Amino acid sequence: AQTVTQSQPEMSVQEAETVTLSCTYDTSENNYYLFWYKQPPSRQMILVIRQEAYKQQNATENRFSVNFQKAAKSFSLKISDSQLGDTAMYFCAFPLPLTGANNLFFGTGTRLTVIP
Amino acid sequence: KAGVTQTPRYLIKTRGQQVTLSCSPISGHRSVSWYQQTPGQGLQFLFEYFSETQRNKGNFPGRFSGRQFSNSRSEMNVSTLELGDSALYLCASSLATSGRADTQYFGPGTRLTVL
């Protein structure tokens, strides 16, 4: 069975500092995507970053980067130079491996608070 | 391009009623997925439609149904509402042209309250 685990229910970080959110998963698939989404108080789910499992290079998007360790099935998100607007719930998500299907399995989320 | 839109944004219904939620995907996106978000169960996949066909369904009772139109707009219906159906319902669209899972872009959600 596929699982996604986010072991940090809540985290906080000082503005301008760096924080890392952890995510581990389990799958029998070899080629897949992994996603980080953020959900601010507005409840709009926003894509933060995507990693393709067959790519060894870690994905980066401006201040956001991932540390993807395929063998360890670990997919952590690093936020550099944290800003107040980064305050949100962060979800790690993984597509369930049904051919041609788009159904994401979400972790339980990490509530991140950026402190001024 | 305009993003994913969902209507209505808020709904209040009573137990036993039925409700229909609507989702318009990003232009060109043919896949529409629906999710339910509750404090207790988190985010759970409901179903996905692609080219007017349901490709996959999550573990929800038959009271939850959906459909997709030729313009890729999708509706989901919940019949005989229960208190536990109170949730944020999120719709997501994706290109899904590769035949495998693709990046999904979410709408703002519909907040359903069942009294």
* pLDDT tens-digit series, residues A70-79: 889 999 999 9
pLDDT of residue A5: 92
Q: Which residues of B touch A98 (CB under 8 A)?
A: 55-56
Cα–Cα dist A53/B108, whole Å: 28
pLDDT of residue B110: 97
Contact B102, A35 (CB under 8 A): no
* Partner residue opposite A47 with nearest CB, options B35, B56, B103: B103
Contact A60, A48 (CB under 8 A): no
DSSP for B82-98, please give it. Answer: -GGG-EEEEEEEE---S
> B54 to chain A, minimum CA–CA distance in Å?
10
Average pLDDT value over all residues in chain B = 92
Contact B42 A108 (CB under 8 A): yes
Q: In this structure, what DSSP letter does residue A43 have? A: -
On whether any CB of chain B is under 8 Å from the CB of A102, the answer is yes
Please report, in angstroms and rounded to a whole number, the separation of the first and last CA atoms in chain A. Answer: 41
- For residues A1-18, give the mean pLDDT: 92
B74-78 and B87-94 strand pairing: unpaired
- Identify each DSSP E strand in chain B by its residue range: 5-7, 10-13, 19-24, 31-38, 42-50, 53-57, 64-68, 74-78, 87-94, 105-106, 110-114
pLDDT of residue B56: 83
pLDDT digits (tens, 9 = 90+) for B65-109: 999 999 999 999 999 999 999 999 999 999 876 556 678 899 999
Length of chain A equals 116
* Partner residue opposite B100 with nearest CB, options A35, A100, A105: A100
| Best mutation target, B31, B106, B111, B112, to test chain A (most A CBs within 10 A) | B106
Contact B77, B63 (CB under 8 A): no
| Residue ranges of A 5-64 with Cβ closer than 8 A to chain B | 32-33, 35, 37, 42-47, 50
> A111 to chain B, minimum CA–CA distance in Å?
13
